Amino acid sequence: MATPQALVIDDSRAMRLILGDLLNQLGYETHEAGDGQQAISLLEGDTNIPSLALVDWNMPVMNGLDFIKAVREQNCYTGMKLLVVTSEAEVGHMVEALTAGADEYLMKPFSSEALASKLEMLGLRHA
């Protein structure tokens, strides 16, 4: 079986490393983008669409919410689950993200169990 692919979109390099490491432990091969626009370029340049994208909220150039809206306008990405991973912990943000098409929402700081639990909710637990 092919290794599942995940895209980590966060403007913090440290956070990308942490998330990438956690996802590797959960059986994913990861790709990184520093903002929503970079992530879209990555997706457009690759025929292999990841099954999961972890999306930060506050990022330069294109923030997480705009990325979610852009991705959900495209039919080709319907199979990609979008998990918002953010320090924005207000219900209003959560509702906005879910309404825009996010599948789940994880608040920073979080534990590895919490990330695994979200993947399980999304039916994406591989390891």
Partner 1 sequence: MSEIHPENYSHLRNLMCECIAVHLPDDKAYLAEARLHSLAREYTQGDINALIEKACSDTGDELRCQLVEAMAINETYFFRDPIFNESFIDHMLPNLMKRRRSDKTLRIWSAACSTGQEPYSIALLLEEHFPELKDWDVQIIASDFSRQSLSKAQSGRYGLTEMNRGLPALLMAKHFEQIDLEWQVKPVIREKVEFQRINLIHDWPEALPQFDIVLLRNVLLYFSMADRMKVLHKVRSQCRDDGYLLLGAAENLEIASGFTPVQAGKCGRFYQPG
- Contacts with partner 1 by CB under 8 A lie at 89-91, 94-95, 97-98, 102, 104-107, 109-111, 113-114, 117-118, 120-121
Q: Are 77 and 95 in contact (CB under 8 A)?
A: no
Q: With respect to partner 1, which residue has the nearer C-beta, 43 or 80?
A: 80
Closest contact distance (angstroms) between CB of 124 and partner 1 is: 13
Closest contact distance (angstroms) between CB of 97 and partner 1 is: 8
Q: With respect to partner 1, which residue has the nearer C-beta, 40 or 82?
A: 82
Q: With respect to partner 1, which residue has the nearer C-beta, 13 or 125?
A: 125
Placement of tokens 């994406």 in the chain? 124
Q: Are 67 and 102 in contact (CB under 8 A)?
A: no
- The token duo for 66 is 């705009």
CA distance 71 to 78: 8
